Amino acid sequence: MELVKNLMVILFTGILTENFILTRFYGICPFLGVSKTTSGAAGMGLAVTFVMIGASAVTYPIYHFVLVPLHTEYLKTICFILIIAAFVQTVEMVLKKHLPPLYNSLGVYLPLITTNCAVLGVTILNIDNGYNFIESIFSALAGGIGFLLVMVIFSGVRERISRCSVPKALEGTPITLIAASITSLSFVGFGGIVDGIFGG
Amino acid sequence: MSCMKEFTKGLLKENPSLVMLLGMCPTLAVTTMAQNGLGMGLATTFVLVCSNLVISLLRRFIPDTVRLPCFIVIIAGFVTFVSIMLDSFLPELSEALGVFLSLITVNCIILGRAEMFACKNKVIPSILDGLGMGLGFTMSLIVVGSVRELMGTGKIFGFEIMPDFIEPMTIFILPAGGFFTLGCIIAILGVITKKKPKKIGCENCPSRAACKSYAGGTGEEETA
């Protein structure tokens, strides 16, 4: 029971109160760049979720069974970024060969993900927070779902903005950032919800 | 003379975060205090100058097809060096920057300069380019950090500035305030320089060479 509760806390914290985009500021570039249409936002969100879970699953054993026994923990940044790059490349090749429809919808976003700070961020956070393997997977899952959720919500906001007349000085990027600010405010409302449900 | 131009272009005309809109994650995340902005900016500048130097030296030896992984490894090496140094000499700053110190590795400013400048130019211009871009980034972090710290706590660099009777607005310290402040600063800069800020998207993205949506010319949602 304790384990389930623990995982639920990680899941809800990651999705709502410690949202990757709006609270932790990981992956702002895709958040602002690919959120013009709902389909693009959903595709990017799904691709990021998948790569985050995969990267967490691969980096955990490598950190604990290779880097720690060799006392080379300080190499984790170099090591993780290489693992992520290789993982993304592999996923791209496998999808291209065996699942062409999925490749056509998600494939275009994959090369962008290597330099997405959400992926490197979640792997380092898992190590810093001392999560075990299952907790790491859940924290990646929560981060990914939170990322997807905010991307889709925000793409709706942007489609609405594109039909409004905006003051000339604010056109383009500034109004997008201010809209993001208001979206972020709405997530502040979730503060304390995790403690409320699971009793801290 | 032309070397000076490489240095000054990064400060204002091609300021990486306020004009080119690169490296938005640290610009928003660490700027709750002007001091953290300064620390993050200087750490990034150091990595940028060193990686530009090394990549420019190795530009004839790195094969074109695997250049991005090579650049990332060089950058990650310097990031590791900086984070070990900060851990031992400035533990408070290292604590405040947290994960974002390691995330300098995937900062698109550094990879972007490597891809667009250092791998095509001689050593001295590359160093100056890195220095200019880094200081421009540091300046914009300090500006955003100062505005947020002043509005949110009434202080700048920890010194009391606001008179007592003005209540600080905590919202500016929250993430929402970060987006809002950055949006306003970019808008003001656009009005002053009478130039529209660059669109966020493919044009400045370091990964665009590897990206199908750009090469195929179908990257409508990013460039629109």
Q: What is the pLDDT of residues A36-90, one digit of tens each?
A: 888 888 888 988 999 999 999 999 999 999 999 999 888 999 999 999 988 888 8
Nearest neighbour of B196 by CB, restricted to A28, A172, A178: A172
Nearest neighbour of B103 by CB, restricted to A121, A175, A182: A121
Quote the pLDDT of residue B133.
94
Domain-located, residue A149: yes
For chain B, what percent of residues have pLDDT higher than 90? Answer: 42
Domain-located, residue A87: yes
User: Closest by alpha carbon to B172, among A194, A200, A187, A181?
Assistant: A181
Mean pLDDT, residues A143-162 = 93
Domain-located, residue A107: yes
Cα separation values, B61 from A2, A172, B57, B68, B92, Å: 55, 41, 9, 13, 40
Whether the pLDDT of residue B174 is over 60: the answer is yes
Quote the pLDDT of residue B169.
87
Whether the pLDDT of residue B1 is over 60: the answer is no
Quote the pLDDT of residue B196.
63
Q: Do B134 and B104 meet the contact criterion of CB atoms below 8 Å apart?
A: no
Domain-located, residue A4: no
Quote the pLDDT of residue B202.
55
- What residues make up the domain containing A121? 10-190
CB pairs under 8 A between A and B: 150
The 3-state DSSP class for residue B155 equals strand
Residues in CB range of B131: below 8 A, 6 or more apart: B7, B10, B45, B48, B49
Number of independent structural domains in chain A:
1
Please judge whether B184 and A178 are an interchain contact, meaning their C-beta atoms are less than 8 angstroms apart: yes
Give me the numbers of helices (H) and strands (E) for chain B, helices first please. 11, 2
Name the DSSP letter for residue B117. Answer: I
Instruction: Kindly tell me the burial class for residue B224, based on how many C-beta atoms sit within 10 Å of its own C-beta (0-12, 13-18, 19 or more).
Output: exposed
Among A180-189, B15-24, B46-55, whose mean pLDDT is lowest? B15-24
Domain-located, residue A198: no
Q: Is A182 on the interface with B (CB under 8 A)?
A: yes
Q: Is A88 on the interface with B (CB under 8 A)?
A: no
User: Closest by alpha carbon to B32, among A150, A25, A143?
Assistant: A25
Contacts with A180 from chain B: Cβ below 8 Å: 179, 183
Nearest neighbour of B199 by CB, restricted to A24, A124, A172: A172
Domain-located, residue A39: yes
Chain centre distance of CA A145: 7
User: Closest by alpha carbon to B14, among B112, B119, B133?
Assistant: B133
User: Closest by alpha carbon to A161, among B70, B183, B69?
Assistant: B183
- Segment 110-139 of chain A within 8 Å of chain B by CB: 111-112, 114-117, 120-121, 124-125, 128
> Nearest chain B Cα to A19, which residue?
B175
Q: Do B145 and B31 meet the contact criterion of CB atoms below 8 Å apart?
A: yes
Nearest neighbour of A173 by CB, restricted to B84, B186, B210: B186
Contacts with B193 from chain A: Cβ below 8 Å: none
Quote the CA–CA distance of B149 and B146 in Å, as a whole number.
5
Residue B210 pLDDT level (bands cut at 50, 70, 90): low
Residues in CB range of A57: below 8 A, 6 or more apart: A133, A136, A137, A140
Please judge whether A26 and B25 are an interchain contact, meaning their C-beta atoms are less than 8 angstroms apart: yes
Q: Which residues of B24-39 are buried (b: 16+ CB within 10 A; e: fewer)?
A: bbbbbbbbbbbbbbbb
Domain-located, residue A113: yes
Among B88-92, B151-155, B212-216, whose mean pLDDT is lowest? B212-216
The 3-state DSSP class for residue A12 equals helix
Whether the pLDDT of residue B199 is over 80: the answer is no
The 3-state DSSP class for residue A37 equals coil
Q: Do A147 and A46 meet the contact criterion of CB atoms below 8 Å apart?
A: no
Whether the pLDDT of residue B212 is over 70: the answer is no
Contacts with A111 from chain B: Cβ below 8 Å: 207, 210-212
Quote the CA–CA distance of B127 and B120 in Å, as a whole number.
13
The 3-state DSSP class for residue B224 equals coil
**Neighbour count for residue A190 (Cβ, 10 Å):** 17
Domain-located, residue A1: no
> B2 has which bridge partners?
none
Please judge whether A78 and B80 are an interchain contact, meaning their C-beta atoms are less than 8 angstroms apart: yes
Average pLDDT along chain A: 88
Whole-prediction pTM value? 0.87
* B27 compared with B194, residue with greater pLDDT: B27
The sign one gets for the Cα dihedral A157, A107, A104, A108 is positive
Which helix or strand (DSSP H or E) is residue B148 part of? helix B123-153
